[in-house]
A and B are shown apart, each in its own frame.
Chain A
Amino acid sequence: MKRASRLIRNLSLGLKHVRLNALRSFLTMLGMVFGVGSVVAMLAVGEGASRKALEEIRMLGSSNIIVESLKPAADTAASQRSRFVNQYGLEYQDVLRITEAFSSVRQVVPVKIVRNVGRMGSRELELRLMGTTPQWFELFHRPLLAGRLLTERDLEQGSNVAVLTEFVARALLSMEEPLGGNIRIAGNAFKVVGILRSEGEGGLTPDKPNDVYVPLSVARGRFGDLSVRRSAGGREREMVELHQIIVQVASTEEVPSAALGIEAMLRRFHPKEDYRVRVPLALLRQAQETKRTFNVVLGSIAGVSLLVGGIGIMNIMLASVTERTREIGIRRAIGATQSQIVGQFLIETLVLSTTGGCIGILVGLLIPQLISSFADMPVLVTPWSLVLSLGISMAVGIVFGLYPAIKAARLDPIQALRYE
């Protein structure tokens, strides 16, 4: 109780001195303000980056391996010839190969992508047709808004059914009767059986807003493997069997070894290197690496600012001790012990550094806003980063306040009383 009230009185005395020299105190605090500000900003940017990475990994699945078809870079001259068909990418055969070769693999989901225009009545929309199996929806949980998902029966019977994303449904369907209508795509009619909510926004998600899911067998049967793309130089013919194979492994620990195994096996069957293996887990590592680099850069800025800020505070406190030599003498003559003098000056330094720290936190909350609006980087200010920043500013106050405080306490009372 006594201690608490004494602390409060010491604090109010400290605040009094800070206010008494408002301009000087403010200038002294600037170093702390920028130091703590960059600490808060650094933590917000780092946290934002890793949160974004985690979010992406959650969408891609941490136990998934995504194999994609990749157009080989070479042979542009050949592709210019009108009759040329560029054949590359994953094959139906690869699905079997992966399923049979790896015991750690739980599910293998093939995806065939066809881009085409969907029509319904007078409305039309550029679509991305995803020919896949029902397991796709097990790997990527998307909330079903209406109707049903694709089934094994759809696949076996080759039913002309389609599951739409909410976006496509809003664009093409009439509000009154969303299900049961037919979408026409390149002369084929697909019956709408379900609508789900897509999460596809960013670049890394497996789904896009304009997706339409159809059974793989139907996509293959109706559209075939040959696609023609009109480009500036003429027509480009491509022969691609599968665009993606998504492999789910039994546990996260087995992801790296399975990814290596799949890559090694595919290399034997695909000498052209017309595929790419993506591991969401590796993206996490990459994100952590980026975060670390960022932390080192901003961390050193913060460290230097805090050091400079601390030295500034120490400098001003030394000046204050000299100015108030007589006061120290009076207090000692009245009966203050050396440790009480140390306490008094230490608390003044703490008030100075912590006030600077608090202003710094406000600055630090603004910087991430600027960063995210200019650089499109995700930022996230967590409560513990604010606690940490406050702790740092208090630590700076103690470290750099101790020497002036001890110097004040060690003054000879008689000399101090005579000081003019």
Chain B
Amino acid sequence: MSAHRKEPTIRLEYLSKAYRSGEGKILALDKLSLTIEEGDFCAVMGPSGSGKSTLLNLIGCLDRPTSGRYLLKGGEVARLSDDDLSQVRLRNIGFIFQGFNLIPQLSVQENIELPLYYLETEPRAAAARAKDLAQMVGLSERLAHRPSQLSGGEQQRVAIARALAAEPDILLADEPTGNLDTGTGERIMELLLEQNRRGKTIIMVTHETDIAAYAQYRLQMRDGKIERWEGR
């Protein structure tokens, strides 16, 4: 413990999320508590239906909990308005999806610039930043291409560049290698590891143990609860 206490990046207290389904309710998250410190690389594992995606959506401020508290860098976000949640997503969180989720009509450069557009960054500065990011993920030559002209691995690298554009502290990755072959997946994981080394907090949902092995620690989920921690 350091002398002055520092707020953890993410702190969940008794977080529950219930969905209405048919006649009954489904409890996707059941009074889950969790802290993730700045710079952590955490893998979330578990069978489908265990609440992994719900947890990631809640951390990513795409959804609001039914009950419980969610403190992001010490600030309560569970009860924020829709507009404020959008701001949190824009400034603090970068998403990386299994299906890449690039916008097909936009070029690689425009896709990377998208968060900067909503940040109202001056267009020339945004273009320069997009070029830097493309270079970092090794796609400088592909800026004018459409996503459909890229391979899966390249698309995911564009998605990572986009997630980094607004300089968020937290990257949320949902099965980032799920659609890629092993070799390509490894290169993507190297990119994420590099970001983690530079200080980004990463939370990654996966069901592949060799991918989860890249993380500092793993948490196993079952029935909306954390079953066990590994590596911490």
Contacts and interface: CB of A to CB of B under 8 A. Distances in A.
Interface of A: 2, 5-6, 9, 16-17, 20, 326-327, 329-340, 413-414, 417
Contacts of A20: 105
B123 A334 contact: no
Contact of B101 (A2, A16, A326): A326
B90 interface: yes
Nearest to B121: A2
6 contacts: A9-B123, A330-B103, A334-B90, A335-B166, A336-B90, A337-B82
Given A333-B101, A336-B90, 18 more contacts: A2-B120, A5-B122, A5-B123, A17-B105, A20-B105, A326-B101, A327-B105, A329-B101, A330-B103, A333-B60, A333-B95, A334-B90, A334-B114, A334-B115, A335-B166, A337-B86, A413-B62, A414-B63
Given A335-B86, A337-B82, A417 B123 contact: no
Contacts of B101: 326, 329-330, 333, 417
Interface string B94-138: 010100011101000000001101111011000000000000000
A217 B79 CA distance: 102
A332 B82 CA distance: 10
A387 to B, nearest CB: 31
B11 interface: no
A129 B146 CA distance: 84
Interface string B141-170: 000000000000000000000100010000
Contacts of B105: 16-17, 20, 327
Given A327-B103, A417-B101, A334 B95 contact: yes
Nearest to A327: B103
B149 to A, nearest CB: 16
B91 interface: yes
A326 B101 CA distance: 8
Contacts of B102: 330
A338 B91 contact: no
Contacts, number: 63
Q: Which 3 A-B pairs have the closest CB atoms?
A: A335-B90, A335-B89, A337-B86
Nearest to B54: A414
Contacts of A329: 101
B89 A333 contact: yes
B57 A334 contact: no
Contacts of B82: 337-338
A334 B87 contact: no
A338 B97 contact: no
B210 interface: no
Interface of B: 57, 60, 62-63, 82-83, 86-87, 89-91, 95, 97, 101-103, 105, 114-115, 117-120, 122-123, 162, 166
Contacts of A414: 57, 62-63
A18 to B, nearest CB: 12
A417 B162 contact: no
A334 B89 contact: yes
Interface centre among B63, B115, B118, B166, by most chain A C-beta atoms within 10 angstroms, is B118
Contacts of A6: 117, 120
A335 B115 contact: yes
A337 B86 CA distance: 6
A210 B104 CA distance: 76
Contacts of B89: 333-335
B120 A334 contact: no
Nearest to A330: B101
Contacts of A417: 62, 97, 101
Given A5-B123, A9-B123, A414-B57, A340 B95 contact: no
Contacts of A332: 62, 86
B83 A338 contact: yes
B86 A336 contact: yes
A339 B102 CA distance: 21
Contacts of B63: 414
Nearest to A339: B83
B65 to A, nearest CB: 13
A129 B86 CA distance: 88
Contacts of B60: 333
Contacts of B114: 331, 334
A333 B85 CA distance: 10
Contacts of A337: 82-83, 86-87
B62 A334 contact: no
A319 to B, nearest CB: 16
Nearest to A326: B101
A335 B118 contact: yes
Nearest to A1: B122
A9 B126 CA distance: 13
B111 to A, nearest CB: 9
B112 to A, nearest CB: 11
Nearest to B113: A9
Given A337-B82, A338-B83, A417-B101, A9 B117 contact: yes
Nearest to A2: B120
A336 B118 contact: yes
A327 B111 CA distance: 11
A293 B119 CA distance: 54
Contacts of A333: 60, 62, 89, 95, 101
Nearest to A409: B82
A332 B83 CA distance: 10
B110 to A, nearest CB: 9
A131 B95 CA distance: 96
A334 B162 contact: yes
Contacts of A327: 103, 105
Nearest to B83: A337
Nearest to B119: A335
A409 to B, nearest CB: 10
